[in-house]
Amino acid sequence: MSFQNQSSVLHKFKGILFSTMSSEELLNSLDFFSAREDDVFLVSYPKSGTHWIAEVIGNIPNARMSLTSPIELGDISKFDELKMNSKRRVIPTHLSYNMLPVNIKQKQCKIIYIIRNPKDTAVSLFHYYRDNPNLPGIETWAAFFELFLRGDVVYGSWFDHVLSWEEHKNDKNILIIFYEEMKKDPSKSIKKITTFLGINVNDSEINKIAQKTSFSEMKNNAAKENCDPNHTICALTSNRNLVFRKGAVGDWINYFTSKQRRVFDELFTEKMKHSELARHFEDNS
């Protein structure tokens, strides 16, 4: 699929594909965004678990935090909308590190970056393309696989995105959370998050948050609260039913042919050869 076929719903900004729901004017103005010292940013490549972390934070008792819609969603009025928010803001985004507003870096705002196995991410994004009217129509997994490999998808290459954040993995204001670890031991990841945010939460409260943010719970709640604009965490849709599909780990095996797996693994090895974060996926790839 050529870019021309996608151009009704996507546009290119600095060489990267964005949804037309993120206006060029807003993307051009990101460096005028005024961050606050206590802002928290939830960052990930699409389909990596941003909603999950948002739900976790939303369930922390007495956190007094307010979840906003993504910083890159909408037009230039976004900044006024964010300014009106008087509570501690939790702001989601799928931006790479390089595109993040400069003020966030200057003020060293807290940032939680979520990473998911790229093969599962690719499959999840494929379904998102198929189900979401704000993304280009795509016929087959094979066609999407090629686009994903080339980084010709919304928010660009998974590899470039992760590497842009990896350069800052030791910054004290950045916490990296692995989707798979969160699946395996939610309470442990939730404890990491609350500690990082400086919020005291006891073990029984942490277990309660883990129960409330299990995948099946979130999926049920999404159906109930669908299309609540205050719950828009993805810059690609406000339809929450589209967001929670399977949430599985390892589902990629049902999609990748052995050839696709080989091609992907070669690219992964080449692109991520200096990446410490990538080692995390070598066991389950």
Which of 242, 285, 231 has its CA nearest to residue 67? 231
Spell 83-95 as b/e; 16+ CB within 10 A means b: eeeeeebbbbbbb
What is the average pLDDT across 268-279?
94
Residues 6+ positions from 148 with CB-CB distance below 8 Å: 122, 125, 126, 158
Specify whether the CB–CB gap between 207 and 185 falls below 8 A: no
d(CA 47, CA 161): 13
d(CA 163, CA 161): 6
pTM of the model: 0.90
Specify whether the CB–CB gap between 18 and 27 falls below 8 A: yes
What is the average pLDDT across 172-194?
95
d(CA 162, CA 167): 9
Mean pLDDT (the chain, rounded): 89
Per-residue pLDDT at 225? 58
* The two structure tokens encoding residue 127: 């379904």
d(CA 154, CA 11): 9
Q: Looking at the predicted structure, is the pLDDT value of residue 3 above 50?
A: no
Per-residue pLDDT at 2? 47
Q: Render pLDDT for 109-141 as a digit per residue (tens, 0 to 9).
A: 999 999 999 999 999 999 889 888 888 889 899
Catalytic residue positions, numbered: 94
* The two structure tokens encoding residue 154: 């919304």
Q: Render pLDDT for 48-101 as a digit per residue (tens, 0 to 9).
A: 988 889 989 999 998 889 999 999 999 999 999 999 999 999 999 999 999 999
Per-residue pLDDT at 133? 83
Q: Render pLDDT for 4-55 as a digit per residue (tens, 0 to 9).
A: 456 689 999 999 999 999 999 999 999 999 999 999 999 999 999 888 899 8
Specify whether the CB–CB gap between 85 and 68 falls below 8 A: yes
d(CA 276, CA 213): 29
Residue type, 166: E
In the chain the domains, ranked by start, together with CATH numbers, are: 3-282 (3.40.50.300)
Q: Render pLDDT for 225-258 as a digit per residue (tens, 0 to 9).
A: 555 555 666 656 555 555 555 567 788 999 999 9
Residues 6+ positions from 54 with CB-CB distance below 8 Å: 42, 67, 90, 92, 233
Higher pLDDT, 101 or 1: 101
What is the average pLDDT across 271-283?
88
Specify whether the CB–CB gap between 63 and 53 falls below 8 A: no
Per-residue pLDDT at 189? 96
Among 184-193, 217-226, 234-243, the range of highest mean pLDDT = 184-193
* The two structure tokens encoding residue 107: 């003020």
